Amino acid sequence: MMKPTIALLTSAAFALVTSLSFAEEGFTPLFDGETLEGWKVSENPASFKVVDGSLVAHGPRGHAFYVGDFNGAKFTDFELRLEAMTKENSNGGVFFHTDWVDEGWPPNGYEVQVNNTHKDWRKSGGLYAVVDNKEPFEDETWMKYVIRVENGVITVSVNGKELVNHTPEGEENRLQKEGGAIALQAHDPGSVVYYKNIRIKPLK
């Protein structure tokens, strides 16, 4: 009597996996959930650790740059998907179209904010100092980010809510013609931010 039940569960599981695979078609993981392979941390390497499948930013300022083999670690038009979670009073960020720096804040490209209750009024999902979001999400709850650059248009959504739809022009345009790096931020010793399920799909 158990065999039909097992077969039914197996079929359901297979259908779920197939559905998820279809939804993620064309996406490549940048983080394996176990190690920092493919990532290099500037300034304070100890500020990033892998804990229970997440890349955790906690410590003095530093930035984890994706430097792996995929796409030469440079992205022009792409869709980046990831999940982020903040502890109370924590600040972080996701950079794109940027470049490696030994120390300090990355000067090139753009930052998408990860912050819900930190004192900085710019909240999660905003394009930092360009298209800011003032309404926070919740700490200790995973936020699903979708960051997309296509044909000069930047869009950002969190949990399905579009917060940015921006076409940079003139001197404000920091999209690099040849593309740039993806980086995650460790903001300060008092901030704890988790990142996981980091995957990307190049669009050109």
pLDDT in tens, 184-200: 999 999 999 999 999 99
Q: What is the mean pLDDT of the chain?
A: 90
1 inside domain: no
Match 């917060």 to its residue by tokens: 163
Strand order in the sheet with 110-115: 39-42, 62-66, 181-186, 91-98, 110-115
pLDDT digits (tens, 9 = 90+) for 67-98: 999 999 999 999 999 999 999 999 999 999 99
Contacts of 20 by beta carbon, 8 Å cutoff, 6+ apart: none
86 inside domain: yes
Q: Report pLDDT for 204.
A: 81
Match 């394996």 to its residue by tokens: 32
Cα separation, 86 vs 182, whole angstroms: 19
What letter does residue 75 receive in the DSSP assignment? Answer: B
Q: Is 129 left (phi over 0), alpha (psi -120 to 50) or beta?
A: left
Q: Are residues 153 and 166 in contact, defined by beta-carbon separation less than 8 angstroms?
A: yes
Write out the residue range of the structural domain in which residue 45 sits: 28-202
37 inside domain: yes
Q: Report pLDDT for 23.
A: 53
What percent of the chain has a predicted confidence (pLDDT) above 70? 89
Torsion over CA of 153, 158, 163 and 164, rounded to 10 degrees?
A: -20
The tally of domains found in the chain comes to 1
9 inside domain: no
Smallest Cα–Cα separation from 96: which of 185, 157, 182, 172?
Answer: 182
| Amino acid found at 3 | K
15 inside domain: no
84 inside domain: yes
Is the pLDDT at 10 greater than 60? The verdict is: no
Distances (CA, A) of 200 to 31, 54, 80, 140, 197: 10, 17, 4, 24, 10
For the entire predicted model, the pTM comes to: 0.87
Q: Which CATH number goes with the domain that contains 152? A: 2.60.120.560
2 inside domain: no
| Amino acid found at 114 | V
Tokens of 86: 């903040």
Would you place residue 25 in the very low, low, confident or very high pLDDT band (cuts 50, 70, 90)? confident
Cα separation, 174 vs 167, whole angstroms: 11
More confident: 25 or 162: 162
| Amino acid found at 99 | D
